């Protein structure tokens, strides 16, 4: 589909270009397409989405994504505390982020990891499995147990969709004395644009190409 092969025409923000959302400085690694669109994707898009799923399941470490987004945010040498977005249960939370926790502890001496500053005390349904945005009712199934007072914090999560979850987490972090300066995401969900907008871009591209051929 045209809108998937030309996401730059329809998405407000490109990967690795920081922007503000809900008062938070945001960077993301690539575009995420929900599974229902898999048959419409190109090979690279499909491969990226599969790598994101593997990151969610803890099958890959995500170090490349982390490094790229931190570089985009221009954080080099700054002593930030890294906190991870709580997910649907404590096991998945640790499985998803434990290798980034290891990397931060072993390879990034300027940073500290807050993986165990959070207690995910009960399971909840995954927000990403909700049928639509209106179904995404946020259930806070975690508590912050670490001492984060006075720390400047960057949040890590897998997928940015509405920004509701990260805004809620920011509120809870700041209630506990931390200061959220940014958030980074492996992927940003691509939103299907209105059909009229897609048609206007398709016709615009067709006319521009026709004019170009006519004058050459």
Count of structural domains within the chain:
1
Mean pLDDT of all residues in the chain? 86
Question: What pTM was estimated for this model as a whole?
Answer: 0.83
- Give CA torsion, residues 169, 178, 67, 52, to 10 deg: -10
Quote the domain boundaries for residue 125. Answer: 2-214
Sheet containing 81-84: give its strands across: 19-21, 24-32, 179-189, 152-160, 81-84, 112-113
183 and 156 in contact (C-beta within 8 Å)?
yes
Tens of pLDDT along 159-216?
A: 999 999 999 999 999 999 999 999 999 999 988 754 444 445 343 444 445 456 565 6
- Which backbone phi and psi does 146 adopt, to 5 degrees? -80, 160
DSSP string computed for 54-82 = HHHTTSS--HHHHHHHHHHTT-TT--PEE
Flag whether pLDDT at 104 surpasses 50: yes
Structure tokens at 130: 């909700």
- In this prediction, residue 201 carries a pLDDT of 39
Give the Cα separation of 84 and 94 in Å (integer): 9
- In this prediction, residue 6 carries a pLDDT of 61
Give the Cα separation of 138 and 126 in Å (integer): 10
Give the Cα separation of 102 and 115 in Å (integer): 10
Overall average pLDDT of the 86-90 stretch: 94
Tens of pLDDT along 6-21?
A: 666 667 899 999 999 9
- In this prediction, residue 211 carries a pLDDT of 56
């Amino acid at each position: 589909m045209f809108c998937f092969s030309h996401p730059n025409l329809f998405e407000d923000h490109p990967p690795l270009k920081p922007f503000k959302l809900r008062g938070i400085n945001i960077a993301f690694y690539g575009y995420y397409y929900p599974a229902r669109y898999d048959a419409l994707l190109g090979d690279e898009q499909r491969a990226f989405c599969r790598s994101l799923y593997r990151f969610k399941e803890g099958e890959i470490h995500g170090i490349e994504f982390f490094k790229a987004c931190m570089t985009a945010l221009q954080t080099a040498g700054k002593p930030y505390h890294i906190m991870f977005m709580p997910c649907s249960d404590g096991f998945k939370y640790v499985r998803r982020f434990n290798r980034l926790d290891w990397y931060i502890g072993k390879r990034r001496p300027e940073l500290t990891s807050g993986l165990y500053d959070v207690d995910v005390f009960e399971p909840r349904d995954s927000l990403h499995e909700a049928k639509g945005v209106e179904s995404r009712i946020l259930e806070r199934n975690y508590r912050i147990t670490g001492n984060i007072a006075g720390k400047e914090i960057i949040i890590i999560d897998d997928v940015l969709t509405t920004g509701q979850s990260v805004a809620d987490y920011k509120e809870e972090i700041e209630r506990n004395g931390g200061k959220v300066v940014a958030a980074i995401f492996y992927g940003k969900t691509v939103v299907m644009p209105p059909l009229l907008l897609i048609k206007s871009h398709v016709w615009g591209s067709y006319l521009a190409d026709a004019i170009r051929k006519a004058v050459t």
